[in-house]
Structures are given as C-alpha cells and as structure tokens.
Structure 1
Amino acid sequence: MNEKIIIFLFLLPILSFYILVWLYPLLLVVLQSFGIPALTTRAEGEYPTLTYYVTFFSTRYLDYLWFSFWNSLAAVLLALVTGYFTALIAFIYEFKGKRVFNMISKIPLFVPYLIAAFMWWLLLTPRGYVYDLLLHLGLINEQVKLANDPLGIGIIFANVWMHIPYVMLISIGTLKVINPELIEAARVLGANMRRTVRYVFIPLSIPGILASLQLVFISMFGGFSVAYILGASFPNYLSVRIFEDAAVLYKWSFASVGAVIYLVTSLVITYFYSKITRWGLKV
C-alpha cells in the first residue's frame, strides 16, 4: 500500500474529529451570520444578506470590540511586567521560603475563571477587602467603582491575577536557558545587578516575553467569565454581547456576526503580532 495512503488513514480519525466538532460548527456560524440558518434547509425568503454585518459596523457593537481590545491590552501589559520581574527576582535571588513562594504563586493556575471572577467581585465591591483598603489609604473615594464599572477595572484586576503565573512559568523557562557565562562576564566587567538585568536578562528573555504576550492576550481577549461577572452592562467584552444576543435576546444572526468578527480580529492580531515578533527577533 502506498505510504501516503497509510499516513492518510492514520490521520483520518483525528481529521474527522476536527471536521465534525470544529470546522462544521464554524461553517454553520459563518452561514448564520449571513442569515442562512442551516445547510440542508432554507425557509421561504431566507437568502444570504449582509444586513447583520452592516448593523454591526453601524451600531455600538464596535464599542464592545474596542473595549475588549484595549482592556485586554492593559491587563496583559500589567501581567507581563509583574510576572516577568517576579520571575526574575525568584530566579536571581535565594531567600527563605522560596519554595513556598513558588507554590503560592501558582495558585491561580488551579482556580477556574468563574470562581476567580466571583472572588474578585467580592473583593472589589463596596465593603470588600481590597475596596476598603484602597478607600482607607485614600487612593479612591466612595464614588469610585472597582467592579461592574465602565472602565473595566475589576476585569483588569482579575485577569492580571489569573495570568501572572503563566507569564512567570514561561519567563522562568526562558531565564534558565540563558548562558551563565554571559551573566558572569557582565559582572566581571563591572556591571551591577541593575545593568545586568537591563543588558543581559531582558534582551535574552525577549522570546519568552513575546510568547507570554501573545498567549495571555489571546486568552484575555476571548474571555467571557471574568467580563460577565465583573464588567458593566455597557461597555463590556464582545463575548458578553454575543452571549446576550444568543441566550437572552435570541438574535442568532447578530451573535454569529459577533463571533465571526471576534475570530477574524484574533487571527489578524495574531498574524501581525507574528510578523512583528519575527522582525524583532531578527533585529
């Protein structure tokens, strides 16, 4: 039997699985966004239409998409800075209780998103521990809302907390492959720790930093649970609007348009990010 046929037969089960559980439902969503509810049946008067897309780009749906983007970007930058430098400190210095610290820092990895969202909702609402602490320190006043607020502050808090461990794990892996001789050479040449971090650790950590940025951003950008619990009624993440259109308002075509736009936006962001990453690594 031809070798290519054997390979195809081995791959056929997994290809069939992906077609049935991913490609076919995706095709149905795309068709639904054009007003076609099914492949096999079509009621009288049901023809492909761009009406739902026109409505999407001419109404407040774009505000949901923009809010999803900038809120996710703000959260990922905070998680990236906090997670990387925390990993750097844990990598460079030896201190008592380091093993316990490493264990505690991984706790968010085992907390479901929905549970974490409720936890931060309790902390950030009035009378919550974090809210009361910030109020006592004079950093906020009683008019400020940290949960279900139009700026998405609560969403940022929760997303940063949940994704710091991912950044730390990727950063630690990147730091461990740095040649120790480069660090030693920097010290021999008189570089203090601050200059060593600036000119040795950070430049050689760029691959890990970029990988963390992409993975964490896509996770936040497409998230639902945190935005649903901690977000305001408007603006909020596009994923929440898609849920409301599908499960509350039964506007299946509008929900499908939102899903298609979400997917296309994620693919475009990933494409340009990959281009920028390759350019940055070459430089």
Structure 2
Amino acid sequence: MAVAQSFGYFNFAGESGFSLAFWGKQLASPLLAASVLYSLKIALVSAVLSVALAYPLALWLRNPFPGSLTLGALIKAPMMVPGLVAAFLFVNLIAFHGFVNEALLDLGLIAKPFRMQNDRYGAGVMLLQVWKNMPFALLLLGGSVRSIHTDLIDAARDLGAGAWARFYKITLPLTLKAMQAALVIIFIGAAGDYSFQVIAGPTSVSSLAQYMYTVQHEFGQWNEAAVVAIVLMAVALFGSLLLAATAHILFAGRRA
C-alpha cells in the first residue's frame, strides 16, 4: 500500500491515479537528502559503537566470577527502558539546568550553564542509541562467545598467540554471525528512530522518520510521506546488507 500510495494511489487529499510527481518532488528535495545522510550517520555510528563496546564486555563476562550475573543484569537493564522514557531521562541530565550543568556549577568548573541538548551533530542521539542498543549486542555476542570451546583458546595461547591474535583470528570469525545480526538489527532500529531524535536530536536536520511525519502531519502530503517511507525502508535494507557484507569481508576467514 505504501508503494502504491507513493505513485499516486490511495490518495487521501485528492483523486487517485498513477503519478511520478510525488517521487520527483521528494527526490529533488534537499531536506530528504539531508535526512538520508543524517539517518545513515546515526545508524552506522550507533551500530558500530554498540558492537565495539559489547565485544570486550562479552569476553570479560565469558568466564563466571563472583558478581558476574548481577553485573551482566545491570548492563542489560537499558533494554527494559522504553526509548521515549530514556530520551526524557537523558534530557534531564543534559538540559540547560539539568543534573550535569548544576553539578558543574556547584563544583565551580563552569561560570554559567551551557547548552548540550539538541547538538547539531546528533551526538546526544548517538549516545542514547549506544546506551540502549549495546546491551542487546552484548546479549547476542555473549552467547556466541561462550559457545567457543576453551580448549581452542588455550591451544592458541600455548602456540604463542597473544590476546589480540586470539581475538582477531579465533573469536571474531567464530562470532561473525552474531556480530552481523547485532549490526543489522541495531542499524535498522537506529535508522528508523523517531523518539530519540524528536527529544534530543538537532533542530537543524531531521531523521527520516521525523521528516516523514512532518511531510504528512504538517503539510498533509500522504503520498509524499509514502515516498519518504519507501526511502527509509530502502536505506534500512541496503544499508544493513552493506554493513553485514563489509563485516564478512573484513573478518571472515581470519581463523588461524
């Protein structure tokens, strides 16, 4: 239905009929291009950072130690927090009179509060995405890391392989499927995010989800919003496939 609507059918604001005008208008829009680039940046950085942070934690928690179960549960706690709630909590921390600014003022480190919310680079959104998605990556990678036989790691150590060699040539190839799954799922979720962007994102550029809502809600252009929806799905699909393929090329076949 979304595809058909993008070509003029199911038109809620006029006569229905085949038309390329909606695609032509949106593909020529600099706002759509900016939203695509912004969403790609947020999704790519969020996915890569989440996986990069989850790997050392998965290796650390591989062998149980006193308190490891409790620590693992605490690390996974953000998965239980809805995205919109997390965004509001984050704003409470970084607002002009939020916890961070007030603490810095009390410590005498700054003379007056400074603005951290809605930064133009989307750093706050990426921080929220990593905080929310890293535990999910840890959940996937942790199970994959624990499935590696200890004898294999010990044999590599006995043959003189250092910590980096064991990780790069044994752990990475054997956990590649889990890494690809984490990258793809986090990328798709971050590319289509709305709640983090609308609360903590920059005001100078919109994510694709936010831009789609604006086109429909503020301008009443259902057909053009459908175009943006198709573009968003295409970005999520091809971006995740490219990310997974890149991971495979870089890390597959590295086993010693």
Q: What TM-score comes out, normalization by structure 1 length? A: 0.77
Secondary structure of the corresponding residue to residue 88 of structure 1: helix
SS of the residue aligned with 1:91? Answer: coil
Residues 172-231 of structure 1, C-alpha deviation per residue, up to 9 Å, x if partnerless? 111111122111112222444444334432333222222211111111111111111111
Aligned-residue CA RMSD in angstroms?
Answer: 2.9
Deviation digits for residues 219-274 of structure 1 (CA, Å, limit 9, x no counterpart): 11111111111112221211001112222332212211100111122222244445
Given the alignment, which residue of 175, 181, 204 partners 1:211? 181
Contact kept, 8 Å, 1:82 with 1:164, in 2: the verdict is yes
Change (3 A) 1:90 1:278: closer
Aligned equivalent of 1:72 = 43
Partner of 1:228: 198
1:238 aligned to 2:211?
Answer: no
- Alpha-carbon shift at residue 84 of structure 1 (Å): 1.4
C-alpha separation in 2, matches of 1:121 and 1:57: 34
Which residue does the alignment assign to 1:86?
57
- Please point out which of 217, 224, 227 is paired with 1:254: 224
Code of the aligned partner of 1:238: L
Amino acid at match of 1:37: F
1:119 and 2:89 equivalent? Answer: yes
CA gap of 1:138–1:115, structure 2 versus 1, over 3 A, is same
1:178 corresponds to:
148
**2:127 alignment partner in structure 1:** 157
Write the letter of the residue equivalent to 2:35.
Y
Task: Report the count of equivalent residues.
Answer: 250
Using the TM superposition, give the Cα deviation of residue 147 of structure 1 relative to its aligned residue in structure 2, in angstroms. 2.2
Aligned residue type for 2:8: G
| Percent sequence identity over aligned pairs | 25
Partner SS, residue 236 of structure 1:
coil
Q: Distance in 2 between matches of 1:241 and 1:137?
A: 41
Q: How has the CA–CA distance of structure 1 residues 100 and 274 changed in structure 2, closer, same or farther, with 3 Å as cutoff?
A: closer
Equivalent AA in structure 2 for residue 120 of structure 1: F
Match of 2:61, SS state, is helix
Please tell me whether the aligned partners of residues 121 and 154 of structure 1 are also in contact (alpha carbons under 8 angstroms). no
Matched position secondary structure for 2:62 = helix
Kept in 2, the 8 Å contact 1:64–1:237? The answer is yes
Q: CA deviation at 1:277?
A: 5.5
Give the letter for the 2:55 counterpart: Y
Give the Cα–Cα distance (whole angstroms) in 2 for the partners of residues 85 and 120 of structure 1: 25
Q: Deviations over 1:137-180 (max 9, x none)?
A: 989x965x432122111101110000011110111111111122
Corresponding position of 1:61:
32
Could you tell me which amino acid in structure 2 is paired with residue 35 of structure 1? G
Q: Could you say if the C-alpha distance between residues 220 and 89 of structure 1 is closer, same or farther in structure 2, counting changes exceeding 3 Å?
A: same
Residue 111 (structure 1) shift: 0.7
Whether the aligned pair in 1 keeps the contact of 2:180 and 2:244 (CA below 8 Å) is no
Amino acid at match of 2:17: Y
- The one-letter code sitting in structure 2 at the alignment partner of 1:108 is P
Q: Conserved in 2, the CA contact under 8 Å of 1:63 and 1:235?
A: yes
Q: 1:217 to 1:105 in 2, by over 3 A?
A: same
Higher relative contact order (CA 8 A, sep 6+): 2
Query: What letter matches 2:192 in structure 1?
Result: G
